[in-house]
Every structure is written in C-alpha cells, then in structure tokens.
Amino acid sequence: MILQSPEPERLYTGLSLLVCAASDGEPARGLATFGALTALLAPGEPTHVIAEEVPAFNATLAALRETAAELPDCRLWACAAALQAAGATVAPPLEGVLSIPAFLRETAGARLVVV
C-alpha cells in the first residue's frame, strides 16, 4: 500500500487495511509518501468527522498506528524522498526508509493500493 494523502480519514482507512491484512496472517506492507508521512507522524484534525466523534476517531487512529507497529507481519516504511523533503526522522510505526523502487521490489507481485 502506498499512503499518500495527508487526510487523517484516509490514513485511518489505509492503516485499517494494513492492520486487518496482517491480523489475518497476510503480509502487509506500506510506504508513507509526502502528505501521509507528516500525517502519520503527527496526525491533524479530521475534517470529515463530526465534532462529537473526533475524540473516538483520534483514539482509534492512534490505536491503529500502535497496532501496525506491533504486528510482526505489518511493515511500514517512510519514502526516502518524502522523509528528506519533510526534514523528518523515522519514528514508530515506521520501521525504516525505502525508495519507491525498493518498495516496489519488496512487494513485487502483491496487490497495490494507493490511499
């Protein structure tokens, strides 16, 4: 999965898909690129969630980030170019840095989803 959108709601969807796949025993791999990288490290406020539901949404998004970092078959990397452009550092749930070509080699033959 390539995570690209900075929207917390899309990040939630992407992490949900990764966590569900890994929980079912399927290898799940993700690459956080430009917009998603900063949102993954410091999620902003959701814009498509009613005010009363924001605390629950944020708690669940945090739980998804933690679960993604803990599941042995769920691996999430930062895009090398995005990391450099953002001046960010790798932190959980990210386990390292990959370029897009390296990510595509790592996931060769897998279903590819862009969120």
- The candidate with the shortest Cα–Cα distance to 2, out of 45, 34, 46, is 34
Whether 91 has a pLDDT exceeding 90, the answer reads no
For residues 95 and 76, is the Cβ–Cβ distance under 8 A?
yes
Section 77-86 average pLDDT: 93
Task: Return the CATH fold of 2-106.
Answer: Hypothetical Protein Ychn; Chain: A, (3.40.1260)
Residue boundaries of the structural domains of the chain: 2-106
Determine the pLDDT at residue 44: 85
What is the per-residue pLDDT across 12-59, written as a single tens digit (0 to 9) for each?
Answer: 999 999 999 999 999 999 999 998 998 888 878 899 999 999 999 999
User: What percentage of residues in the chain have a pLDDT greater than 70?
Assistant: 100
Backbone angles phi, psi at 27, to 5 degrees: -60, 130
Query: Cα-Cα-Cα-Cα dihedral of 109, 92, 97, 2, to 10°?
Result: 40
Quote the CA–CA distance of 9 and 7 in Å, as a whole number. Answer: 5
E strands along 33-111, which residues? Answer: 74-79, 96-98
